[in-house]
Each structure stands twice: as C-alpha cells, then as structure tokens.
C-alpha cells in the first residue's frame, strides 16, 4: 500500500478541492440558514459529480468490494473506486458535509445497490439517486431488530413499517428499505428492497430540523401496504440462515470508510482555518518540543497527530475494499477514530478561535461534524464490532 495519491486519482482530487473552495464554501452559510431548501447550484456541477466515481458507475465505491475473496482482479494491488471516492469526499467535506450529502446519485442507497444487487439490478438502477432507510423509532444501533415487514404476495412484496433519519429521503429517486421476511428467523430474514419514489403506500411524513448538515434533508417515511415488485428485492430472495445477516452488512463495510473520509475532510478544514486565524498570535515551530510552545500551538500539534492517524486508517480501510480484502474490522476502526477525532478537532478549534464568532465557518463545521460520529453506526457500536472481530466473538456472544 502506497500512501501517495496515485496519478490517476490526482485529477479527481483536485477537481473536488476546487468544488469545495469555489462552490461549496460560497453557498455553505446560505443553505445552513435555509434548512430543507434544495441547493440548486449542485445541478450546475452534475458532470463533475458523476466524475467523482471515475466516470464509471461499475467502479463506484462498494461495487468492487461486494465479494471479498482476498484476491485482486489481476493478482496485483489496485486503487479503485473506494479510494478515489474517499479522497474526493475528503476534499469536498473541506467545503461542506451537508452539500456533499445533497449531491444527486451519491446516496447511501447507491452503495447498497453496488454491494448486494445482481448484475441485472445494477444495470436497471444505474443513474438513480438512492437513499437508505434502516433506522426505526424503536430500532437504532441494532439494525437486526428492525420491525418493518415484507410479505410476499404474488409478483410483489407488501411493505409495512416506519423509517426515520433517512438521508435524502425526500429528494431521492428511490429508497433502499430494510425489512424482514420473517421475524421468527431473526437476522437472516432481513432483506433490502428498492422502493421507487411515488409508490402508493410510501409517504414522507416529516423532515427533521437538525443541529448541523442542514443543507441535507433528513426524512421520516412510512410504508402502509406498499407494494414493491419482486424484482426490486436486492440480491437473492432466499433466506440463508448460514450466512445470516452478513450479506446485508457488507454495505457498511463499503460505506463506513467513506463516512470516515467525511470526518477527515471537515477536520482538515477546521485545522487549516485555525492555523490561519492563530498565525498572527502564536508561532508554530515543529522543531520545538510541545512543552516549550504556547498552549494553542501545542494543542494544534496534538490535533494534527490525531488527524493523521484518522487519515491513514481511512485510507487503509478503503484500500482493503478495493483489493477485496475483508475490511469489516478496519472499516469500523476508521469510522470510530475519524468520527471521534473530527468532533474533538472542530470543537477544540472553535475553542481556540472563539473570538472570531459565528460568522466564521469554524462554528458550522463543529455542528456538522457531530453527525459523523453517530450515523453509519455510533461510536459505541463501532467499538463493539471491533471487539467482536478481535476476540472472535459472535453478536450473540458479545453484546
């Protein structure tokens, strides 16, 4: 694994950096104040958005990672869609996390489709903007405890239940809904279904008012006798008790490094801005031991070290996905470290530069960063997953 940005990815990374600096930051405060308003400026950069996946939907994050056999395609190391998307996300989140989450055709549901859909489904759903509906009012961190049901009825499945905290749930073209075919069979019976927007029985009941990422819509959706064609069940309809929940959870192995990349990006923005604001007031000298520096300088040194660790862990998890190496533990490590680190860095930078007040984007980045330690699995859930992988325990053995 080489830590330098590969030549083929540098152009994408630079394109994302320019978008963050000259598009996202310019409209960041506007859509922070106008919560739930769609950022129409994103339509003007649609071509660049599609380019973030290397111009190849089959190479998108998650598409190359669905089968982790431990072997690469051609017997060599490769840098694919996961790494290129991670680097692009880091750059874009230096601008605005909420605007990234509002980018068309880049929803969490798209990663789920890439991870578990059949080749026919991937082709049929190409170019769609797919949200992901997992969390329920009585089910948060334990995704296996979902109560939304899917009953077979001829050529359709009938969905009943309620989902909350669906990112892009109102703006998307379709929603990937997790539901159980049979509660008695537990985790193994949980499947994901693509529900087209406008399907009778599917209703967006409310949009949440949030602390941060206000430019991104977060919806609650109800399903009442919602009929979904059987072809829209992602992957195999068979209930495999032996494999259980593993197939569905592969989605998170692909997306958690990308959420970590979001955290790394917003943390980098805060560090760079803090250095800029503090430069006239404290001298930053890396040759001098931290104890001999001012408190502000010593704090920045420590935060930069924490950021570097989160950055490297994120690259590792994404790289393992590109090379079809089992990365469940590493994805959780990256997500846990980056989520916690981003919150600490952004809040500490606000503390160090508090005199600059609300008008600076530092305070907004602090609000935006908190969600990155929560969604895609909370800090506590990540630590539990890591412990299970290290100790070789099942979810039943270590709760």
Q: What pLDDT digit, counting tens, does each position of 112-138 carry? A: 898 888 999 999 999 899 999 999 998
Q: What secondary structure, in 3-state letters, does the chain show? A: CCCCCCHHHHHHHHHHHHHHHHHHHHHHHHHHHCCCCCCHHHHHHHHHHHHCCCCCHHHCCCCCCCCCCCCCCCCCCCCCHHHHHHHHHHHHCCCCHHHHHCCCCCCHHHHHHHHHCCHHHHHHCCCCCEEEECCECCECCCHHHCCCEEEEECCEEEEEEEEEEEECCCCCCEEEEEEECCHHHHHHHEEEEEEECCCCCEEEEEECCCCCCCCCCEEEEEEEEEEEEHHHECCCCCCCCCCCCHHHHHHHHHHHHHHHHHHHHHHHHHHHHHHHHHCCCCCCCCCCCHHHCCHHHHHHHHHHHHHHHHHHHHHHHHHHHHCCCCCHHHHHHHHHHHHHHHHHHHHHHHHHCHHHCCCCHHHHHHHHHHHHHCCCCCHHHHHHHHHHHHHCCCCCCCC
Q: What distance lies between CA 194 and its chain's CA centroid?
A: 19
Q: Convert the pLDDT of each residue in 304-334 to its tens digit.
A: 999 999 999 999 999 999 998 999 999 999 9
**CA-to-CA distance for 265 and 36, rounded, in angstroms?**
23
Rounded Cα gap, residues 284 and 287, in angstroms: 9
pLDDT along the chain (399 residues), means of 10: 85 92 96 94 71 44 42 61 92 96 87 88 93 92 87 97 96 96 88 96 97 97 98 87 59 90 98 93 86 91 97 96 92 98 97 79 96 93 95 90
Domain residue spans in the chain? 7-124, 130-232, 246-391
- Looking at residue 62, its pLDDT comes to 44
Say how far apart CA 377 and CA 361 lie, in whole Å.
27
User: Topology of 246-391 in CATH?
Assistant: Butyryl-CoA Dehydrogenase, subunit A; domain 3 (1.20.140)
pLDDT at 134: 93
Which residues does the annotation mark as catalytic?
A: 376
Fold of 7-124: Butyryl-Coa Dehydrogenase, subunit A; domain 1 (1.10.540)
What's the pLDDT score for residue 393?
94
Rounded Cα distance between 171 and 109, Å, is: 13
Structure confidence at residue 76 (pLDDT): 66
Contact status, residue 327 vs residue 317, Cβ threshold 8 Å: yes
Architecture of domain 130-232: Beta Barrel (2.40)
pLDDT for residue 54: 45
pLDDT at position 388 is: 95
In degrees, to the nearest 5, what angle opens at C-alpha 231 toward C-alphas 65 and 112? Answer: 25
């Amino acid at each position: 694994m080489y830590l330098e940005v590969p030549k083929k990815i540098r152009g994408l990374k630079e394109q994302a950096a320019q978008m963050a600096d000259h598009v996202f930051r310019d409209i960041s405060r506007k859509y922070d104040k106008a919560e739930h308003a769609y950022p129409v400026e994103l339509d003007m950069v649609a071509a660049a958005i599609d380019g973030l996946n290397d111009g190849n939907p089959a190479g998108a994050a998650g598409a190359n990672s669905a089968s982790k056999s431990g072997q690469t395609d051609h017997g060599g190391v490769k840098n694919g869609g996961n790494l290129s998307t991670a680097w692009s996300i880091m750059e874009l989140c230096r601008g605005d996390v909420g605007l990234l989450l509002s980018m068309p055709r880049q929803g969490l549901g798209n990663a789920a489709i890439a991870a578990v859909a059949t080749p026919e489904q991937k082709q049929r759903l190409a170019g769609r903007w797919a949200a992901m509906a997992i969390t329920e009012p009585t089910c948060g961190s334990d995704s296996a405890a979902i109560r939304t049901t899917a009953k077979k009825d001829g050529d359709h499945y009938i969905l009943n239940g309620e989902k909350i905290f669906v990112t892009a749930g109102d703006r998307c073209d379709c929603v990937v809904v997790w539901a159980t075919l049979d509660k008695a069979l537990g985790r193994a019976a949980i499947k994901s279904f693509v529900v087209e927007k406008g399907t009778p029985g599917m209703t967006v009941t409310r949009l949440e008012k949030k602390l941060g990422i206000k430019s991104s819509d977060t919806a609650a959706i109800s399903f009442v006798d919602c009929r979904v064609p059987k072809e829209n069940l992602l992957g195999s309809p068979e209930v495999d008790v032996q494999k259980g929940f593993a197939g569905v959870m592969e989605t998170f192995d692909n997306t958690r490094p990308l959420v970590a990349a979001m955290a790394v990006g917003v943390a980098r923005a805060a560090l760079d801005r803090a250095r800029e604001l503090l430069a006239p007031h404290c001298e930053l000298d890396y040759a001098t031991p931290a104890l001999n520096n001012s408190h502000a300088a010593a704090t920045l040194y420590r935060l930069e070290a924490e950021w570097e660790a989160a950055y490297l862990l994120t690259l590792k998890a994404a790289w393992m996905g590109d090379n079809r190496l089992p990365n469940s533990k590493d994805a959780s490590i990256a997500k846990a470290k980056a989520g916690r680190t981003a919150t600490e860095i952004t809040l500490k930078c606000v503390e160090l530069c508090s005199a600059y007040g609300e008008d600076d984007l530092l305070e907004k980045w602090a609000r935006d960063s908190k969600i990155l330690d929560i969604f895609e699995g909370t800090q506590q859930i990540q630590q539990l997953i890591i412990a299970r992988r290290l100790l070789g325990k099942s979810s039943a053995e270590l709760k």
